[in-house]
Amino acid sequence: MKKLKVNILYPTSAPGGHGVETAFREMVNGLGARNDVEVMINSWAPADIIHAHDPDPISIIKLLRHKGKRVISGHLTRGSMVGSVVDWVIPAEFWWYKRFYKMAEAMVAVSATTKQNLIKEFEISAPIAVIENSIDSAKLATTADQKAAFRKSLGFMPDDFIVVSNGQIQPRKKFDEFIDVARQLPKFRFVWVGGIIFKGAIKGLAADQARLMKMVDEAPENVLVTGVIPLDEARKYLRVSDVYFHPAVQETFGTAIVEGAAAGLPIVLRKIPDYDHTFKNNALLVEPEKFSETLQELKKNRELYKKYRAESAKIAKRYDNSAAAEKLVKFYRQILA
């Protein structure tokens, strides 16, 4: 069978510290591990498939010049714009993404809910495959000795009970509720991996930025906020932790959740419809008033803890990038045919 040439587009100079960047890198890794695909990154050379992740100007020019099939991953919907950027930016951002998505001859939605929103909100008529974001789960597997060494290097004690979350600090991620729960559980350690990615001339675009920055500055002593750090460093904090807690009110998918699962952590999520087709059967989905109680129960009930570690292993296996790459290649061949 002919080897596929796939040109994957993403502005590598863009601010890091968010799920789209991770999705791009894991797609490259997953496809690059196969012997039936030649992966190109941000290339001007001809390819069978050009697959874009972000509507930056250079990617759009490459999409317009491309002679093969154009595929775009739909990472953003109107719901993920609300609470990410200031309100007055949303209409312009939506207009921009709508025209970007319309360039696709086929799309990849990162969840079934996202597919529904792409059709409803953006009026997409091109074929849409649901292929969730994925990671190389093996890179997060952690032995007891590794966990102990990482804890020592990062300044944690062996008996700390560490609750971690990962993502941009923005209203829809509910960093404020993360802080509230930390205040309720002063004997637990809480780590938020991430920060506010809008800096310099564009810092005024982040929603509710001043309030959130004040919240970071005034976080209780049992909370560590890492700021935006490289992916390998971010994953160390997952590998030292005991529970992954994600209080966001909206997610198109949630790659960081899979990372937490791959690190062997029970997953605690807000009960929202966004997870109905992804994590609902393998994570603890709870109402906000039960966040603190659920974390305490996981600490004291070892049987419950073991059960949801086992459920996390199922998440990690389901969303490993080898499985996603297989789905992608099949989709590519279908649209080429």
**In whole angstroms, what is the distance from residue 298 CA to residue 293 CA?**
9
Cβ within 8 Å of residue 85, ≥6 positions away = 93, 205, 206, 207
Q: Which CATH architecture has domain 137-318?
A: 3-Layer(aba) Sandwich (3.40)
Count of C-beta atoms within a 10 Å radius of residue 64: 9
**Locus of tokens 């196969």:** 34
CATH assignment of 4-134+320-336? 3.40.50.2000
What DSSP designation does 86 have? -
Instruction: Return phi, psi of residue 261, to 5°.
Output: -65, -40
The token pair at 264 is 């062997």
pLDDT tens, the chain, 337 aa long: 789 999 999 987 665 556 788 889 999 999 999 999 999 999 999 999 999 999 999 999 999 999 999 999 999 888 887 766 677 778 888 999 999 999 999 999 999 999 999 999 999 999 999 999 999 999 999 999 999 999 999 999 999 999 999 998 988 899 999 999 999 999 999 999 998 865 543 455 555 678 888 999 999 999 999 999 988 999 999 999 999 999 999 998 999 999 999 999 999 999 999 999 999 999 999 999 999 999 999 999 999 999 999 999 999 999 998 889 999 999 999 999 9
Domain boundaries, the chain: 4-134+320-336, 137-318
128/270 Cα distance (integer angstroms): 27
| pLDDT value of residue 173 | 92
Cβ(91)–Cβ(66) under 8 Å?
Answer: no
Quote the CA–CA distance of 221 and 137 in Å, as a whole number. Answer: 32
Q: Which amino acid type is present at position 305?
A: Y
- Collapse the DSSP code of 302 into the 3-class scheme (helix H, G, I; strand E, B; otherwise coil) and give the result: helix
pLDDT at 183: 98
Q: Decide whether 4-134+320-336 matches 137-318 in CATH topology.
A: yes
Q: How many residues does the chain have?
A: 337
What one-character DSSP code corresponds to residue 253?
-
Tokens of residue 234, six digits: 């971010």
